[in-house]
Structure 1
Amino acid sequence: MSSNQSQTADDAGDADVPEPALPAFALKPVAAIAVVFAAVQSGLSGRYGFHRDELYFMAAGDHPAWGYVDQPPLTPLLARASTELFGSSPVGLRVVAILAAVAALFLVALAARELGSGTPGQVLATAFAATSGFVLASGHMVSTSTFDLLAWLAICWVALRLLRTGDGRWWPVLGAAIGIGAFNKHLVVLLVAALLAGVLLVGPRSVLRSRLMPVGVLIAALFALPNVLWQIDHGWPQLTVAEGIAEDDGAENRAMFVPQQLLFLSPFFVPVWIAGLVRLFRDPQVRWARALAVAYPVVCVAVVAMGGKSYYALPPLLVLTAAGCDPVLRWMRSSRRSARGVLVAAALALSAVINAVVTLPVLPADALDVPMAVNQEQGEQVGWPELADAVAAAWAGIPAEQRPRTVIFAGNYGEAGALRYYGPERGLPKAYSGHMSFADWGPPPDSANGPVLVVHIAGATGQDRFFTGCRPAARVDNGKDLDNEEQDAEVLVCDGTSRPWSALWPDLRRYY
């Protein structure tokens, strides 16, 4: 449908707008790909262990709130729901991640359909998404990016329907998608701003004149409001977190942005999404969707400027990949079709194998050094029980009469989350930490004026100055000779604190 057609539909009013015919949705083949994807993810979900962020989300889910220092509440709430329904284990926790990734696959197929693709194009778009590194990683672990992917794709799909039909009744749906996305991560604002910029620059601007647009804005605001109020009430700590991340990692993120954009889907898919980008500008049948082609580079510029992670900009790239499937199919059907089909099949197969090795626990844990060069998150799923063992060994050296007054203090939320999960079965008391929202769940009582077990990563300095008489008591060894962040972490035994916990706690708070 052209932009002129879209404007005609919009000017006709928001009710009873006839939608132009679309190709049938390829439900069975898309569902077949989704089932295989889910089966692979389910079979591998328990092979390593929890990721540090997952341990933190489970802890946050046990402290329900309208917000947390570093995020809105949706991911912790979904993590708690998954463990309540399916069990408190990596397998049980990750059910919700698998379901979200499967839903993302369907949204990619729906986006391809919205752009006029029939069954072959929808199936190819789903296959590209299912074998991409970002979607495989999102389906394997519970993270804010898992549900960010789903929210961004939902927003893109609804936006495509709105732009194609001009039917203002999609504004409330779009508002709900935006609001739910904001309830998970505020980065959704980047996508909304980029899409708005695209519509203003290349149209169809008629959709902005719909009388239902304010309703969509109101719905989005209502979903986002509780967390915004929480952030205001707590002094916008998430801005402090973002500033710290940009300061620590911003230069590296900017330098690696382009290479990671190419790698995190698959280098073999680059010609596909470039073809999609070009198609949205040149093909008269889909030029109404040019706003999306504008939105992607706008999001990229914003992410680079803020020093954010490269994967923040990846969901729109999946839609551009879907847009490129019809040109790929036409290329395959031209001369030498069999050879070109083999090339596409080989690209999918190689991407599936390489991306699975990089993002999923297919290798033995002691062979992760190579994949970790691309994806550090692989290694962050190894060694947490061993960290709890090291703390338990140090705890065993504390005299029994001193244990009621002894505190375990963890330097970061991964360590604190691991001790919260693995500590009780090792006879350890509750662990405290000043990192992120763990600081809001402390401090220890001032009556806990005995020894302190301090856990921190190797080479970390600073917080131990708040404790007296510290000496090494144990060292973490993950048993895999894997050089992840917690390997060789120290457990110190300190005689006590330099001040009472209540006076010390503000100095122990860390936002990054």
Structure 2
Amino acid sequence: MDAARQQPKLAWRPVLAVAAVAVVVHLVVATRYGWHRDEFYYVITGRHPAWGYVDQPPLTPLLARWAAALPGGVLPLRVFAIACQAGCVVLGGKLAAEFGGGARAQTIAAGAVAASVEFVAASVLFGTPVTDQLVWAAMFVAVARALRLRTTTAWLPAGVIGGIGLENKDTVVVLLLGVAIGLLVWHRDALRTPGPWLAGALAVLMAVPNVVWDARHGWPNLAMAQVLSDRTGGPLGSLAKLPLLLLLAGPPLVVLCVLGVRRLGWGPGHDHRWALAIMATAVVVFTLGGGKPYYPAPALIALFAAGAVRAEMTAGRRRLRWPAVIVLSGLIAVVIGYPVLPARAQNALRALNPTVMETVGWPEFVAQVETAAARMPPGTAILTSNYGEAGALTILGRSEGLGNPVVSGQNSYADWGPPSGSPETVLCVGEFTLPYLHRFWSEVHEIRPITMPDHIRNQEIDQHAAIYECRQPHGTWAQLWPSLRHYD
């Protein structure tokens, strides 16, 4: 067999050792705080099975529903997230092997993924960011393997991964576009074979159910994408935040990314320029589309892998101690991305990563709302301003069991409709303002503001979330509901 087509030997022991360390660190703090608002939403969304939702395809909500059905509260969801992160670590080592790296390069690549701020922070909760990372990592390995083997069947895993990815997150379209551009520019010979075309057809076929759902519902995913772009500030806003990609890589690991770009672009690894094309495509498309800085971050795995190969090749000429670099980056990532500090101390890091603080205070929130609901007429509906509040009341609370339906007009919650009965008396909870509520009810009384323990600040406090008693509606639920719908 041609040497180039031989299976690169994966250094299982060191790579799995790195993954094991990452898993242990994550498990230690996995449930230190509590649920995240997005996790509530994924679980509730999964309880409304469909081929799509206004803000995502169906895969992650379905997995969240399964995980939440297991005992242990939020822990099974976090275990799913940690498993995805461990998979990315192993695939980072595998990709370094596909790029021609030995045991040292594979260990460095696996360590970089395990210590990257982006990969660590995404695994703090279960959701589309961490499952999307696994899809990108698997796609890089599948394409590298297919190009090495040069057989039709070798391309089929890439098609399956692409199809799964499209049923998980719409941004995988950009990943597939990057693969196509990379092949068109540097591997046209591969495009003369049926393999890539069959893989593309397979991915499209697997994505059809979600596409059909989107089309039948008027393409709400596009409207949602526009809302998110506007919130980011459009292309200029994304461009201004693009330097955050260096922070997401992990400041000590930026040099490894530079080495990766050099190897893929001009070094002995230029046969793998297709991987650099994916990174470039992701940065350009997501920036022009007003995407968030972390959208192209999963492509960092290719730079880590290629940089690790170059680091291995130049080990005798450079004094940089990569284990120390990886450990330093890992410490930074853990402090920024994980709830390792007391909540009040973690509050100081909220500007760098607000996600962690969104996992604090939900039981206290539920208790405050249920105390107010107990003083309302039986069957009073609870209308929340966002899906996190509605999910917390549904999963952690007793409101629905006590006859208080919990609804929201945000995103897919709006599709599940208003409650039955009359909106004569409604308990409105969350980031509402008095002028907004007066659009729907003549009489609005603020019962109390939402407070968090230990002076914690999160989205609820920033937006002055409160509990309101609303009476004398300006119509029926059917008449009010279209104006209560909102995407954000």
Q: TM-score, normalised by structure 2?
A: 0.95
CA distance in 1, matches of 2:139, 2:444: 52
Which residue of structure 2 aligns with residue 257 of structure 1? Answer: 241
Q: Does residue 443 of structure 1 match 2:418?
A: yes
Secondary structure of residue in 2 paired with 1:57? helix
Q: Does residue 182 of structure 1 match 2:159?
A: no
Q: Deviations over 1:13-70 (max 9, x none)?
A: xxx9986234421111111111121111122111111111101001111111111111
Q: Pick from 35, 47, 56: which aligns with 1:62?
A: 47
Go from structure 1 to structure 2 and tell me whether the alpha carbon gap of 1:460 and 1:129 turns closer, same or farther (over 3 Å shift).
farther
Q: Pick from 13, 26, 30: which aligns with 1:28?
A: 13
Q: Pick from 9, 31, 38: which aligns with 2:23?
A: 38
Which residue of structure 2 aligns with residue 238 of structure 1? Answer: 221
Output the amino acid matched with 2:411. Answer: M
CA distance in 1, matches of 2:262, 2:50: 45
Conserved? CA contact 1:393–1:474, under 8 Å: no
TM-superposed CA distance for 1:255, in Å, is: 4.4
Q: Does residue 289 of structure 1 match 2:289?
A: no
Which residue of structure 2 aligns with residue 379 of structure 1? Answer: 357
Which residue of structure 1 aligns with residue 298 of structure 2? Answer: 315
TM-superposed CA distance for 1:294, in Å, is: 2.3
Which residue of structure 2 aligns with residue 490 of structure 1? Answer: 466
Conserved? CA contact 1:54–1:142, under 8 Å: yes
CA distance in 2, matches of 1:182, 1:319: 20
TM-superposed CA distance for 1:455, in Å, is: 0.9
CA distance in 2, matches of 1:72, 1:88: 26
Q: Does residue 301 of structure 1 match 2:277?
A: no
TM-superposed CA distance for 1:77, in Å, is: 0.6
Q: Does residue 355 of structure 1 match 2:333?
A: yes
Go from structure 1 to structure 2 and tell me whether the alpha carbon gap of 1:323 and 1:144 turns closer, same or farther (over 3 Å shift).
same
Conserved? CA contact 1:97–1:142, under 8 Å: yes
Conserved? CA contact 2:387–2:408, under 8 Å: yes
Which residue of structure 1 aligns with residue 118 of structure 2? Answer: 134
Output the amino acid matched with 2:251. Answer: P
Conserved? CA contact 2:108–2:323, under 8 Å: no
TM-superposed CA distance for 1:459, in Å, is: 5.2
TM-superposed CA distance for 1:424, in Å, is: 1.0
Output the amino acid matched with 1:110. Answer: K
Q: Deviations over 1:239-277 (max 9, x none)?
A: 111111111223474144332110012111111111111
Secondary structure of residue in 2 paired with 1:180? helix
CA distance in 2, matches of 1:309, 1:494: 36
Conserved? CA contact 1:423–1:429, under 8 Å: no
**Equivalence map 1:44-55=2 (5 Å):** 44-55=29-40
CA distance in 2, matches of 1:264, 1:463: 39
In the alignment of these two chains, the number of paired residues is: 484
TM-superposed CA distance for 1:435, in Å, is: 0.5
CA distance in 2, matches of 1:41, 1:464: 46
Go from structure 1 to structure 2 and tell me whether the alpha carbon gap of 1:101 and 1:500 turns closer, same or farther (over 3 Å shift).
same
Output the amino acid matched with 1:497. Answer: P
Q: Deviations over 1:381-437 (max 9, x none)?
A: 111112112211211322xxx313x11100111111111112217957231111111
Q: Deviations over 1:153-205 (max 9, x none)?
A: 1111111112233223222211111110000011111111122112222x121
Q: Does residue 169 of structure 1 match 2:143?
A: no
Q: Deviations over 1:319-358 (max 9, x none)?
A: 11110012223443226x4xx32xx333222211111011
Q: Does residue 410 of structure 1 match 2:384?
A: yes
Q: Identical aligned pairs, as a percentage? A: 35
Q: Pick from 412, 418, 431: which aligns with 1:457?
A: 431
Q: Does residue 269 of structure 1 match 2:253?
A: yes
Output the amino acid matched with 1:499. Answer: G
Which residue of structure 1 aligns with residue 108 of structure 2? Answer: 124
Q: CA RMSD in A?
A: 2.0
Which residue of structure 2 aligns with residue 152 of structure 1? Answer: 136
CA distance in 2, matches of 1:102, 1:275: 24
CA distance in 2, matches of 1:357, 1:458: 33
**Equivalence map 1:198-213=2 (5 Å):** 198-201=182-185, 203-213=186-196
Q: Does residue 388 of structure 1 match 2:336?
A: no
Conserved? CA contact 1:385–1:422, under 8 Å: yes
Secondary structure of residue in 1 paired with 2:460? coil
TM-superposed CA distance for 1:463, in Å, is: 4.4
Conserved? CA contact 1:163–1:289, under 8 Å: no
TM-superposed CA distance for 1:211, in Å, is: 2.0
CA distance in 2, matches of 1:271, 1:213: 33
Conserved? CA contact 2:51–2:57, under 8 Å: yes
Q: Deviations over 1:442-494 (max 9, x none)?
A: 2111x234311001226585245212311111221111212211124110001
Which residue of structure 2 aligns with residue 326 of structure 1? Answer: 309
CA distance in 2, matches of 1:88, 1:507: 38
Go from structure 1 to structure 2 and tell me whether the alpha carbon gap of 1:155 and 1:211 turns closer, same or farther (over 3 Å shift).
same
CA distance in 1, matches of 2:434, 2:457: 16
Output the amino acid matched with 2:229. Answer: A
Which residue of structure 2 aligns with residue 429 of structure 1? Answer: 404
Secondary structure of residue in 1 paired with 2:453? coil
Go from structure 1 to structure 2 and tell me whether the alpha carbon gap of 1:77 and 1:18 turns closer, same or farther (over 3 Å shift).
farther
Output the amino acid matched with 2:370. Answer: A
Q: Does residue 475 of structure 1 match 2:453?
A: no
**Equivalence map 1:74-113=2 (5 Å):** 74-84=59-69, 86-87=70-71, 89-113=73-97
Q: Does residue 504 of structure 1 match 2:480?
A: yes
Output the amino acid matched with 2:345. Answer: A
Secondary structure of residue in 2 paired with 1:308? coil
Go from structure 1 to structure 2 and tell me whether the alpha carbon gap of 1:141 and 1:474 turns closer, same or farther (over 3 Å shift).
same
CA distance in 2, matches of 1:464, 1:24: 67
Go from structure 1 to structure 2 and tell me whether the alpha carbon gap of 1:413 and 1:72 turns closer, same or farther (over 3 Å shift).
same
Secondary structure of residue in 2 paired with 1:113? helix
Q: Pick from 228, 231, 234: which aligns with 2:211?
A: 228
Which residue of structure 2 aligns with residue 419 of structure 1? Answer: 393
Gaps in structure 1 of 5+ consecutive residues: 1-15
Conserved? CA contact 2:405–2:419, under 8 Å: no
Secondary structure of residue in 2 paired with 1:442? coil
CA distance in 2, matches of 1:509, 1:436: 7
